[in-house]
Structure 1
Amino acid sequence: MNDDQLLRYSRHILLDEIGIEGQERLLQAHVVVVGAGGLGSPAALYLATAGVGRLTLIDPDQVDLTNLQRQIAHSMNRIGQAKVTSAQEAIQSLNPDVQVQPLAQKANDELLDRLLPTADVVLDCTDNYRTRQLINAACVRHQRPLVSGAAIRFDAQISVFDPRQAHSPCYACLFDPAAPPEEAQCATMGVFAPLVGIVGSLQAAEALKLISLAGPSLAGRLLMLDARSMEWTQMKLKRQSACPVCGEAANRHPKPQV
């Protein structure tokens, strides 16, 4: 680290759990963030200010006026702009040293198979069940930790799915890919503005801990928040042997890596 970086990240370096070595790991890390909206905005901004060296942002959408109630990476003067380039501008105004790769497209198997071999952590900041399952399957294939968050109305959840750990479940262990729930969209259901900030910030925190080795992750636990009462509930999770993605049968016939 140079003198400017030592000053910029001094509050991290003062933490025994991070220190110089942990901050160096952050500077050398690559994080893939899928979704640059309500969750992806605070997550990406905190990852950038914390010094993650390289961020890849994936989102096919453009900034809309209705986004500005909660998606803090965007602004009035960037309405109509691709969300990933809008977020890139916000990130680089905070920390120009971060390398940002904006990809204005939908996540798919081909793209994730190309990106994940060099990624340290993946953040699922999407609101689409099919895409969540696709991201999870790619993380299992490439043995990459996944930080998954969700928020709708006043309810939210967050967990870490880490296929590098023998007993850690994957997203499909908890949510069956073959039984998608009825989709709940912010456009019809609404979402409490600060709620996505809470969850997105927690996603960034989990990613930073995974990279810097600052502490144990949420792997094996699901946190659920009722923002009306501000009460957290914790559920312990186990890997399912019959899981179609990470279970015993799936492991006997893994999909070849690209």
Structure 2
Amino acid sequence: MQDADLLRYSRHILLNDIGITGQQAILDARVLIVGAGGLGSPVALYLAASGVGYISIADNDSVDLSNLQRQIIHQHNAIGQNKALSSATSIQLLNPNTHINAITERLSGSALAQQVAAHDIIIDASDNFTTRHAINRACVTHRKPLVSGAAVRFDGQVTVFDLRQEDSPCYHCLYPDNGAEDEIRCSENGVFSPLVGIIGATQAAEALKLITGAGTTLNGRLLLLDALDMQWRSIKLKRDANCAVCGKKPPNHNYTIPKN
């Protein structure tokens, strides 16, 4: 760690639960963020500001004017540009020492599995069940910690599936992939702008705790936020022994995301 790093990250280093050792772990970490929208924006910015050394951010969508109400990583002049590339530009301006890998394709199949295997922490900042289940299956296979978040209207949720732990539930334990889920999208239902910031910042905090070993993560707990009344609820999660993905049955290794 150079003198400039000691100054830049001094407020982390002053924390006994992080210190120099924890900050070095952050500098050495590799994080994959799937989705560069409302949730991915604060996640990427906070992780880069904190000094995460290698961030891959994947999104095949382009910046639209309607995104700018909440997707704070994108500037007005990025309208029409790929979101992963736009995010990379903003991150480099914030912290030029962070290496950014902008993935402009929709991660699916073997490409998704390879990216999950190559990173230490996976952040699910996507906006649909199909992608979330594919990410979860890849994380279960490669035993990677998954930080999951969702936000729509005034309701948000965040949790951690630390799949390095034998007793950790997975996303499929919480939301079984039976094809009956109803997608609730921001484009159809709206979303309160600061809500995605709150949930995304919480995802970033959980990722940093996983990296440094500080505190207790949300593994085994689901946090639910009602931003209209600003009330949090915590629900305990348990692993489903009969889960088709992480349970005793033969795992589902299909990471393919069908095209829209």
Q: What TM-score bracket applies, with the shorter chain setting the length?
A: over 0.9
Alignment partner of 1:82 is 2:89? no
Partner Cα distance (2:109, 2:4) in 1? 39
Whole-angstrom distance in 2 between the partners of 1:237 and 1:22: 28
Give the AA of the match of 1:49. A
What letter matches 1:134 in structure 2? A
Matched, 1:47 2:42: no
Residue 215 of structure 1: how far off its partner (Å): 1.5
Contact 2:137 2:253 in 1 (8 A): no
Per-residue CA deviation, residues 210-243 of structure 1 (Å, 9 max, x unaligned), is 0011122100000000001000011100000110
The SS at the match of 2:249 is: helix
> 1:58 aligns to what?
58
Q: Higher mean Cα deviation, 226-235 or 175-184? A: 175-184
8 Å contact from structure 1 (residues 243, 250) kept in 2: no
Determine if the alignment matches structure 1 residue 157 to structure 2 residue 145: no
Per-residue Cα deviation, 1:125-161 (whole angstroms, up to 9, x for no partner): 0111000000000000000000000000000100001
Q: Distance in 2 between matches of 1:117 and 1:139?
A: 8
Structure-2 change in CA distance of 1:63 and 1:148 (3 Å): same
Q: Return closer, same or farther for 1:255/1:76 CA change in 2, 3 Å cut-off.
A: closer
Alignment of 1:98-247 (within 5 A): 98-247=98-247
Secondary structure (helix, strand or coil) at the match of 2:110 reads helix
8 A Cα contact 1:38 1:70, kept in partner: yes
Distance in 1 (CA, whole Å) between partners of 2:181 and 2:253 is 26
Distance 1:19 1:146 in 2: 24
Question: Is 1:21 aligned with 2:21?
Answer: yes
Uncovered stretches (5+) of structure 1, i.e. residues with no partner: none
> Structure 1 CA distance, aligned partners of 2:117 and 2:107?
15
Structure 1 Cα separation of the partners of residues 105 and 229 of structure 2: 37
- 1:166 is displaced (CA, Å) by 1.4
Give the secondary structure class of the aligned counterpart of 1:150. Answer: strand
After superposition, what is the alpha-carbon deviation per residue over 1:107-138, rounded to whole angstroms, capped at 9, x for unaligned?
Answer: 21211221122211000001110000000000
CA contact under 8 A between 1:109 and 1:138: conserved in structure 2?
no
Q: Tell me how far 1:255 sits from its aligned partner.
A: 4.7
Distance 1:179 1:15 in 2: 45
- Output the aligned Cα RMSD: 1.4
CA distances 1:167-215 after superposition (whole Å, capped 9, x unpaired): 1100000101114411111111000000000000000000000001112
Give the counterpart letter for 1:62 in structure 2: S
TM-score (norm 1): 0.96
Amino acid at match of 1:232: W
Match of 2:258 in 1: none
Q: Distance in 2 between matches of 1:208 and 1:233?
A: 22
- Distance of 2:180 and 2:246 partners within structure 1: 18
Whichever residue aligns with residue 43 of structure 1, its letter is: V
Q: CA deviation at 1:162?
A: 1.1
Contact in 1 for aligned 2:138/2:253 (Cα 8 Å): no
Post-superposition CA distance 1:66-107 (Å, at most 9, x none) = 000000000111100100111111101010000000011112
* Structure 2: gaps spanning 5 or more residues: 255-260
- Provide the TM-score with structure 2 as the length reference: 0.96
Secondary structure at 1:46's aligned position in 2? helix
* 3-state SS of paired residue (1:248): coil
Cα pair distance change 1:61/1:218, threshold 3 Å = same
String of CA shifts for 1:12-59, please: whole Å, max 9, x gaps: 000000000000000000000000000000000000000000000000
